[in-house]
Amino acid sequence: MYRLSQLAALAATLSTAMGAYQGFNYGSSFTNGAAKQQSDFETEFRTAQGLIGAPAGGFTSARLYTMIQGGTANAPISAIPAAIATKTSLLLGLWASAGDVAFANELQALSSAIQQYGTALGGLVAGISVGSEDLYRISPTGLENKENPGAAPLTIAHYIKQVRDIIHNTALSGAPVGHVDTWTAWVNSSNQVVVDASDFLGFDGYPYFQKTQQNDIVHSKSLFDDALGATKAASQGKPVWITETGFPLSGKTMGQAVPSIQNAKYYWDHVGCPLFGSTNVWWYTMQDSAPTTPNPSFGLIGSTLTTTPLFDISCSSKQGQTSSSLISPSSGISSALSQTAQSTFFKPSETSTITLATTFLASNGTMTVASFPSGTVSTGKASSIKGSMGEAIAVVMMVTVMALFGL
């Protein structure tokens, strides 16, 4: 039986696919240790929003690592008023690897920010991350690499509960609270308590650093996909957000991974472009070389803020491709169509003559037509199409019902 509620389920799934956050990671200080001020964050956020060639939706979100403004004990970070001024959404972060006393200051900064900014902040918060790679840093690999001190799984789970207590009955009460870590930490069963405590899993994945594997640029996508797949398998069905990934434009070779602008663009095209618009992504990073350049350096722009990236970020190589096959997409709107329609709209045993055709007109001029129950998706180039994937993709749905089953 076909019901209008089932069509609504598809629309809701599509809405989720189209509403993904897209942005970068932002530190609280420059590479020389100087604390960023509100004007610095505003300039960075506006630069990100104005990047030339940005994929549909642009880069309008920011992931933060701490709630504390540099140079203060527990004052709220000035990135918050900067985000309000520039309408930049935020994945808030609380640093969790410095012990209970330091984390108490993070909690105080969070509480103060809620009191000071209220709904102006609440409307911008994508989520709250309690910690960043703390579990990785206490792992054998983290210890071998002499990383900063981390935090134990039970500690992170306890911190997550403390954050939920802070935001209860406030403007942030509906914000998902989770943790960000490397994929190797998420698949480690000893960290299960953190998975249990989290509303979402923040995934940090860098094939560049996987030097014990075949990590040349050609194999980078398969390494990324394998790591993401393993994390999703360990997530208990909870959302997995891409909180860090990228490829360095300069720096030392790691295994077979060679930093270069050409390889960074390859990684962007093959890993980033399929994710943008369909999955929450905070890329690493827009700029990491102000004023000095680290080794390795992942920034899309150099030491001077500019809206001109060091390579083409338009994902244009993905435009104009035409294909028609049985639905087997891996992400985004096509995936939403496949999963929802096949499970909800028809059963293989039924012999109805219902046809559902859905046409998507994206800002890059790509047109996708999905047809059910035949289960085919065709994508090609449309002409003179304007719009924004992140705001309101022009969606035209035509449903031809030749046999009605109880509607």
Active site residues: 133, 244
**Residue 349: what residue type?**
S
Q: Which two tokens stand for residue 389?
A: 């994937």
Beta carbons of 321 and 379 less than 8 angstroms apart:
yes
Cis peptide before 285 (omega within 30 of 0): yes
- Cβ neighbour number for residue 164 with a 10 Å cutoff: 16
Q: For the purposes of burial, counting CB atoms within 10 Å of the CB of 267, is it exposed (0-12), middle (13-18) or buried (19 or more)?
A: buried
What three-state secondary structure class fits 2? coil
Contacts of 103 (CB under 8 A, 6+ apart): 94, 95, 96, 159, 162
DSSP secondary structure letters along 313-330? -S-GGGTT--EEEES---
DSSP secondary structure letters along 161-199? HHHHHHHTTSTTTTS-EEEEEEHHHHT-GGGHHHHHH-S
Backbone angles phi, psi at 175, to 5 degrees: -75, 130
Query: Please, which residues bridge with residue 132 across strands?
Result: 180
Q: Using the Cα atoms of residue 151, residue 68, residue 276 and residue 208 in order, give the sign of their dihedral.
A: negative
User: Residue 159 and residue 154: Cα distance in Å, rounded?
Assistant: 9
Query: Please, which residues bridge with residue 235 across strands?
Result: none
**Residue 307: what residue type?**
T
User: Residue 405 and residue 407: Cα distance in Å, rounded?
Assistant: 6
The DSSP bridge pattern shows strands 366-372 and 355-361 to be: antiparallel
DSSP state letter for 331 = S
